[in-house]
Structure 1
Amino acid sequence: MVFGQVVIGPPGSGKTTYCNGMKVAVINLDPANDALPYDCAVNIEDLIKLSDVMIEHSLGPNGGLVYCMDYLEKNIDWLESKLEPFLKDHYFLFDFPGQVELFFLHANAKSVIMKLIKKLNLRLTAVHLVDAHLCSDPGKYVSALLLSLSTMLHLELPHVNVLSKIDLIESYGKLAFNLDFYTDVQDLRYIQHHLDQDPRSSKYRKLTKELCEVIENYSLVDFTTLDIQAQLYLCIF
């Protein structure tokens, strides 16, 4: 039985830095990540490159990434053969693209993960990174909660949500609430009240209320914090 993590999250959330800090067998499955700071055990660019797809099929970066994940799913035997030499004595990190739609909307990335779990007897945990600066804006924080919840429901994996770059959080401005309010996802009525004070968002009061109720009714989302520079690494077994 082999263990590992599926590292996901929006662009700029710190996925590659996180993988670099873990110092284990890293599998780069981001075909747009052509300047890796780590030595990867397997690189999807040996199979397909986003730049080539965009040129050949006249696609933008988002459409190109969907195409690449679909291509990887159809060529899953290639990935399995690349992983087999590491199955006996390695802990895996799968560094996926930052296009969030791949993990709460499209099925191909999930299909890749599920096929690996089934065929290689992997035990994987999703590690979903969210930039801590989103806590400084109540509207963006609610969006991060919705994204985290949607991803959890779609992937159906053991799941850890992480506020990354926590060492920089004070540089974004004073938080409206204590940090544990954001990590524990406490009573979101306080967030609603805070948003009601903003003329730009007050007109969406009813929508905000409904979204917060959805998040609270599921009662699934919370966050741990990560400062990769302080080596507060997650080890999930």
Structure 2
Amino acid sequence: MGYAQLVIGPAGSGKSTYCSSLYDHCQTVGRNIHIVNLDPAAEHFNYPVDMDIRELISLEDVMEELGMGPNGGLIYCMEHLEDSLDDWLDEQLENYLDDDYLVFDCPGQIELFTHVPVLRNFVEHLKRKNFNVCAVYLLDSQFITDVTKYISGCMASLSAMIQLELPHINILSKMDLVSNKKDVDEYLDPNAQSLLSQLNRQMGPRFGKLNKCLAELVDDYTAW
């Protein structure tokens, strides 16, 4: 059985930095991992790339040849990857042993792991190839110093959890950029009533029922 880690999260959340740090750590402890680039728009890496989607398709080529913008072009690239799972991906996977550990550095376009089925189908293909897969979701910790940003980040992460149906861990990145770390503390183990109170103070009365549902939803999944 092979092992795979899907590194997801919004653009700029530090996914590639995480992959680089993970690679360096594994090198230090003598564990072998392989980093896979799944971002057709990527240009620079701080880790050795063992498998690269740009060998199959690149965003630059799609934008130039098809006249697409960056967002539509990225979706096109990932859908092309989905169509090539039985060919390109299977050929690439033949280079790895059964107990190899693959880390997939994914694009940051949020719809890819919230409602577009591309990554879900990618994961299902890996499972059929006898890979045990987990998801690591990175969120910029600066997003949780404010209740509305915190709720937004939670909803995006929860959407990814539901869409991918994988063992899932959330990681707060860029803590060194948070000026007052006490602002983050109350959101690490949030209380539903506290969240609701903060939301109601920032939003109009007509959002009261919505705020209550959001606070309870976060509380329900926090209990997991």
TM-score range, shorter chain: 0.7 to 0.9
CA distance in 2, matches of 1:221, 1:133: 23
Deviation at 1:214, TM superposition (A): 2.7
Is 1:182 aligned to residue 191 of structure 2? no
1:56: Cα distance to partner? 2.0
Of 208, 211, 215, 1:212 maps to: 215
| TM-score with structure 2 setting the length | 0.87
Q: What is aligned with 1:87?
A: 97
What is the CA distance between 1:69 and its match in structure 2?
Answer: 1.0
Q: Under a length normalisation based on structure 1, what TM-score does the superposition of the two structures give?
A: 0.83
Contact 1:148-1:221 at 8 Å conserved across structures: no
CA RMSD of aligned residues (A): 1.9
Tell me the CA shift for residue 13 of structure 1: 0.7
Unaligned runs of 5+ in 2: 24-32
Q: Which runs of 5+ in 1 are unaligned?
A: 223-237
Residue 39 (structure 1) aligned to one of 41, 48, 70: 48
Look up the SS of the partner of 2:4 in the other structure: strand
Cα shift readout 1:134-188 (whole Å, capped 9, x = no counterpart): 111110000111111111011011111111122333x2x4644x62x4233x322
CA-CA distance at 1:189 after TM superposition: 1.9
Aligned to 1:226: none
Name the residue aligned to 1:5: 5
1:197 is paired with a residue of what secondary structure? helix
Shift of 1:57: 2.0
Aligned pair in 2 of structure 1 residues 132, 221: CA closer, same or farther (>3 Å)?
A: farther
Aligned identity (percent) is 42
Q: Tell me the equivalent position of 1:166.
A: 175
Corresponding residue SS for 2:209: helix
Q: Is the 8 A contact 1:7 1:128 kept in 2?
A: yes
SS of residue in 2 equivalent to 1:80: helix
C-alpha deviations, 1:1-23, integer Å up to 9, x for none?
11121000001111000111111
Q: Contact 1:126–1:159 (CA<8 Å) still a contact in 2? A: yes
Aligned-partner SS, 2:77:
helix
1:16 match: secondary structure: helix
Report what 1:106 is aligned to: 116
Q: Which moved further from structure 2: 81-90 or 128-137?
A: 81-90
**Offset of 1:202 from its aligned partner?**
3.4
- Name 1:66's counterpart in structure 2: 75
Letter paired with 1:13: S
Give 1:202's aligned amino acid.
G
CA contact (8 A) 1:149 1:221 kept: no
Question: Which amino acid letter does the alignment assign opposite residue 80 of structure 1?
Answer: D
Match of 2:146 in 1: 137
Change (3 A) 1:221 1:13: farther
1:187-206 equivalences in 2 (<5 Å): 187-198=191-202, 201-203=203-205, 204-206=207-209
Q: Which amino acid aligns with 2:133?
A: L
The answer to whether the 8 Å contact 2:200/2:211 transfers is no
